Amino acid sequence: MRIAAAALAAVAYLVVVPALLADKPYLLGVLTTASALSLISMGVWLTFMIGRINIGQGAFALVGGYTTAILTTKAGLSFWLALPLSGLAAAAAAALIGWSILRLRGVYFAMITLSLTETMRLLALNAKALTGGATGIVSIPTPGAASLFGLVVVPDFASVNQHLAFYYLSAALLLLGVAIVWRIANSRMGWLFRSLQQNEELAASIGVNVAKFRVIAFAVCSFLGGLGGAFFTASQQSIYPSSFGVPDSIYFMLYCFLGGLAYVFGPVVGTFILFISFELLHGLREYQMLIYSLVIIALMLWLPNGLLSLRPPARLAGRPEPAAAKRRRGAGQEA
């Protein structure tokens, strides 16, 4: 039943939607952006899992974006090599910075990651030799063809319907991100992450290497952020210090929260529903932001556990089972 539903959703997402919207670039663009934003939010969800409020994802999206921009324009590297390298660069930066700042918790971590987003913007603004300063890096080439053993896997983006090509790229990246986070959330490491969220001292006292696991979570989070940043750099063919700022970091966090922190699909649902509803409110002009913020506040007042909590618990896909329930069930089977 669940597999059938998932297969249906995948077919709709990968076949039906692009077929229907192939000649409607605006709508396709909205969905493309929502997919890529979901990918970035997936990462933030992972840091919520270790009990940290991460408002620094914009910084790592910026690192990923600039890595792609510099590698493709100055080093002449193919986008398909620059993309994974951007993720890795963001992850490496996160591991380096995270080692020290992950000692902070609660509001302190939230405030320092917020500052980190601002730091990265100022760094991009001032490191003119590398980033071009305020004028940014523009006219970045679209992704070219990628071939494996002489076989063309991905066609040159310039030779096909670009909107469709970017839609599929963002969809592929999102599926990769969901797969990574799903795998982690349902593995032993996922449970260790949750133990950090509940009580770090207790986790440490039973032998969990707390410092290692929180850095891993932060690095994976930033890896996804870096990939997302690289995607936006390629699809917009430009990057500026202000491409990802504090408001973006706050939105990534809100998307996760409003989708539901207890569900792997929370950030995806939150991003799609909120981002698309923001676009739908476009006609309201100056009232767009006002209505949107009222929607966000109303969701927090009446759905404090996220949009996905609307569904009956038994049918939730990928919902982490409470540890106590699992223990009880295990005991029942033995009896």
Partner 1 sequence: MEQVVINGLILGMNYALIALGLTLIFALMGVLNFAHGQLYVLGGFVTYYLYGVMGLPFVLALVATAVTLAAVGIVMERALFRRVLRISSREESSMLLAAGTALLLESSILIVFGEKQRGVPPVMTGVYEVFGAYVPAGRAFVFAASALLVAGFILFMQYTRPGRALRALAQDREAALLQGVNVKRYAMIGFAIGSALAGLSGALLVTVFAVNSGLGTPISIKAFIMIMIGGAGVVSGAIFGAFVLGFVEAFGYFFIPGSITYLLIFIGLIVFLSLRPQGIMGKPWG
Binding mask 204-243 for partner 1 (x = CB under 8 A): ----------------------------------------
Q: Which amino acid type is present at position 324?
A: A
Q: Does 96 bind partner 1 (CB under 8 A)?
A: no
Measured distance CA(49)–CA(57) in Å, rounded:
15
Instruction: Name the one range near partner 1 by CB under 8 A: 6-14, 21-29, 250-258, 310-318.
Output: 250-258
Binding mask 283-302 for partner 1 (x = CB under 8 A): ---xx-xx-xxx-xx--xx-
CB atoms within 10 A of CB 311: 13
Instruction: Name the one range near partner 1 by CB under 8 A: 4-12, 65-73, 97-105, 327-335.
Output: 97-105
Do you know the residue count of the chain?
A: 335
Q: Which amino acid type is present at position 319?
A: R
Of the candidate residues 160, 305, 322, 329, the single one contacting partner 1 (CB under 8 A): 305
Question: Based on CB atoms, which residue is closest to partner 1, 159 or 199?
Answer: 199
Measured distance CA(327)–CA(51) in Å, rounded:
23
Backbone phi, then psi, for 54, in 5-degree steps?
Answer: -100, 110
- Say how many residues touch partner 1, by CB under 8 A: 43
Contact 52, 222 (CB under 8 A): no
Of the candidate residues 254, 269, 308, 316, the single one contacting partner 1 (CB under 8 A): 254
Binding mask 142-181 for partner 1 (x = CB under 8 A): ----------------------------------------
Contact 184, 27 (CB under 8 A): no
DSSP reduced 3-state for 239 = strand
Instruction: Name the one range near partner 1 by CB under 8 A: 15-23, 96-104, 181-189, 211-219.
Output: 96-104
**Could you give the C-alpha distances from 52 to 1, 44, 136, 276, in angstroms and in order?**
35, 9, 31, 27
Measured distance CA(259)–CA(305) in Å, rounded:
8
Q: Does 48 bind partner 1 (CB under 8 A)?
A: yes
Residue 154 pairs with which residues in a beta bridge? 146
Instruction: Name the one range near partner 1 by CB under 8 A: 78-86, 108-116, 146-154, 166-174.
Output: 108-116
**Could you give the C-alpha distances from 12 to 23, 31, 272, 317, in angstroms and in order?**
17, 13, 15, 18
- Applying CB under 8 A, the residues found at the interface with partner 1 are 48, 53, 97, 100-101, 103-108, 110-112, 114-116, 118-119, 122-123, 125-126, 246-247, 250, 253-254, 257, 261, 286-287, 289-290, 292-294, 296-297, 300-301, 304-305
